[in-house]
Structure 1
Amino acid sequence: MSQSLTEKDYQNAADALGVSVAAVKAVASVESAGGGFLSDGRVKVQYEPHVMYQRVKLKFGQARADKELKAHPDLLALKAGSYQSLDKEDKDMDRAAQLIDRQCALESASWGAFQIMGYHWKTCGYETVQKFINAQYSAAGQLDTFVRFIKAAPILSRALKAKDWKKFASTYNGPAYAKNAYDTKMANAYKSFGGV
């Protein structure tokens, strides 16, 4: 299992997207503090309880989602928030998979160095959610998923090519991007990697 990327890997991804290596590295460094794995080798995931509620509702209906919310208020939520240590996020996702529904749980986490949500597996061109998950177990697979995701979203592709970090961050990270200064962090990271 490879957990490191070479300059050639970054160059291939940049070429596929029509952007500079610095742009790809900027997104990677900001999205997951520079790496897609925990110190013990597990893939970095951020489990989102409010997304779990939405996925359960979508798959099983409102009544089931409300029942699970009542039974597991630590694993489902009506609104975003509740972020914890990455170790706990991973364990919460596993618990949600065992106690509620595996596919919903896997789809309710953002994965790897580029923190792409599991529910984007179809958008990224994977045949199943499991194939998406399998790809996250190598740094090269995470990078490939990022390339697939950007290619599938013209608004992100255009913003990355234009180095429009505000547009990119607002689309990629959602409305809370400004609170976390993702656009500023990406712009600064881009410069630190030699981007102009």
Structure 2
Amino acid sequence: MPALPSGTSSTQARQIQRALNEKTGASLKIDGQFGPLSISALQKYQSQIGVPVSGIYDSATQAILAPFMAQKYLGAAAFQQAAAKLGVDVATVQAVCQVEAKGAGFLDNGQCIILFERAQLYRQLVPLLPSAKLSQLVSQYPTLINTTAGAYLGGAAEWTRLSQAQQIIKGGGVDPGVAYRACSWGLFQIMGYWFAELGYANVTDYVNAMQMSESHQLDAFVRFVTNMNSGAMLRYLKAKDWLHFALQYNGQAAVTMNNYPQKLQDAYAALMRVDP
């Protein structure tokens, strides 16, 4: 008997693999191919939750895991809600997500994907610390506080960098939450320092939302597009003016380097061919 029910799509299989990685500590390749390693992780999860260890994604297992996946990962309903808020078609939102977003909003361990920006932390600290103290920190901790970008490690190691930076600035009398502003968060990697423009009361509320679900991360993108630059970004998105949308969203240098307008146009065209 197959481990997954008949009719399970590759997308659904990948979500199950993602959930099993988080719930069991497995390191499954998220490929939708539910082979022996995936079955072993499923059995481990079944043992954890106290249901029969069948190695089959049966109704007892689904009753517990499916609600978790529906809450945490992006689904059709989230795209529809985002499209309605923006006043665009679903394919437009999906195209931007394909091109601009990370492949997933969470690491295997369930933490939100982040990128800690040492140069942004420096900028956040400029009004908070005497210049001599800030220069001392740059000299002591150049990989964490610097005038230039860099020293990225990726994955869970970015959380380690964030934690280290928080301890350093706390020792200097600065609220460790300031370091949250120096990170980009979730699927769309929106910087923490935009929290107010996105409608969050403080950066901690923004971080908590990004940690909850990919739907919350998509909602942050909706807020970003709607609120920034007096609505210009949203106007370009509605008009499917991919060049000017990408210039607003990515900046000139990134557009030149990565050809985002063409990628957005191609992604949208492909989605419309699949679901016109």
> Could you tell me whether the CA contact under 8 Å between 2:185 and 2:192 is conserved in 1?
yes
CA deviation string 1:94-128 (max 9, x = no partner): 21122225222100111011111000000011111
Decide which of 157, 170, 176 is 2:234's aligned counterpart: 157
Q: 1:175 to 1:78 in 2, by over 3 A?
A: farther
Identify the match of residue 132 of structure 2 among 59, 63, 83. Answer: 63
User: What aligned pairs does 1:162-181 form with structure 2 within 5 A after superposition?
Assistant: 162-177=239-254, 178-181=256-259
Q: Structure 1 residues 191, 39: closer, same or farther in 2, change over 3 A?
A: farther
Aligned residue for 1:46, secondary structure, equals strand
Q: Which residue of 2 aligns with 1:74?
A: 143
> Alpha-carbon deviation of 1:144?
1.5
**Contact 1:29-1:35 within 8 A present in 2 as well:** no
Q: Partner of 2:115: helix, strand, or coil?
A: strand
Could you say which residue in structure 2 is the equivalent of 1:133? 207
Structure-2 separation of matches of 1:90 and 1:82? 13
Q: Which is bigger in relative contact order (C-alpha 8 A, separation at least 6)?
A: 1
Structure 1, 126-135 or 6-15: larger mean CA deviation: 6-15
Q: Distance in 1 between matches of 2:238 and 2:190?
A: 19
TM-score normalized with structure 2 length = 0.65
- AA aligned to 1:128 is N
Structure 1 residue 31, shift from structure 2 partner = 2.9
Q: Kindly tell me: are residues 67 and 171 of structure 1, through their superposed partners in 2, closer, same or farther at Cα, counting changes over 3 Å?
A: farther
TM-score (norm 1): 0.89
Does 1:121 find its partner at 2:195?
A: yes
Q: 1:141 Cα deviation (Å)? A: 1.1
Counterparts of 2:139 and 2:199 in 1: how far apart (Å)?
Answer: 35
- How much has 1:61 moved relative to structure 2? 4.6
Higher Cα radius of gyration: 2
Match of residue 27, structure 1, among 89, 96, 99: 96
Aligned to 1:79, what secondary structure does the other structure show?
coil
Q: Which amino acid aligns with 1:3?
A: K
Distance 2:201 2:91 in 1: 31
| Cα displacement string for residues 13-61 of structure 1 (whole angstroms, at most 9, x for unaligned residues) | 1111111212222222233333211122110111111111111113335
1:52 corresponds to 2:114: no
Structure 1 contact 57–64 (Cα < 8 Å) conserved: no
Amino acid at match of 1:52: L
Q: Percent identity?
A: 37
How many Å apart are 1:90 and its aligned residue?
A: 2.4
**Inter-CA distance 98–156: structure 2 relative to 1 (3 Å threshold):** same
Instruction: Confirm or deny that 1:143 pairs with 2:218.
Output: yes
- Cα 1:46–1:188 change in 2 (3 A) is farther
- 1:9 and 1:115 map into 2 onto residues whose CA distance is 18
Q: What is the alpha-carbon root mean square deviation over aligned residues?
A: 2.0
- SS of equivalent residue, structure 2 residue 74: coil
Unpaired segments ≥5 residues, structure 2: 1-67, 171-175
